[in-house]
């Protein structure tokens, strides 16, 4: 289960197993940032915040990232 904080077409900033990271179609990549810094960076990179944060399983997240009607 992952908590989605922000998304952009093909990528999302997520928390998985209490670890912050970036999820793409290639999988999960952990990052060594605090959530606050990651969200500031996400804003600069034009990620769309997901409010409220959503919990998703990996297959649902992949579908969510490829669904361009939700951007």
71 pLDDT exceeds 60?
no
Confidence band of 36 (pLDDT split at 50, 70, 90): very high
User: What residue segments make up the domains of the chain, in order of their start?
Assistant: 2-70
What is the reported pTM? 0.85
Q: With contact defined as beta carbons under 8 Å apart, do 61 and 13 qualify?
A: no
Q: What is the pLDDT of residue 25?
A: 86
Q: What is the pLDDT of residue 29?
A: 95
What is the DSSP secondary-structure string of the chain?
Answer: -EEEEEEETTEEEEEETTEEEEEETTEEEE----HHHHHHHHHHTTPEEEEEEEEE-HHHHHHHHH-GGG-
**Span 47-63, pLDDT tens digits:** 999 999 999 999 999 98
25 phi/psi in degrees, rounded to 5 = -65, -15
Neighbouring-strand partners of residue 49 = 6
């Amino acid at each position: 289960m992952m908590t989605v904080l922000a998304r952009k077409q093909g990528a999302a900033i997520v928390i998985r197993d209490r670890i912050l990271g970036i999820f793409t179609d290639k999988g999960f990549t952990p990052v060594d940032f605090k959530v606050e810094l990651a969200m500031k960076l996400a804003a600069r990179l034009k990620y769309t915040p997901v409010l409220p944060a959503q919990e998703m399983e990996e297959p649902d997240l992949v579908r969510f990232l490829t669904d361009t009607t939700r951007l």
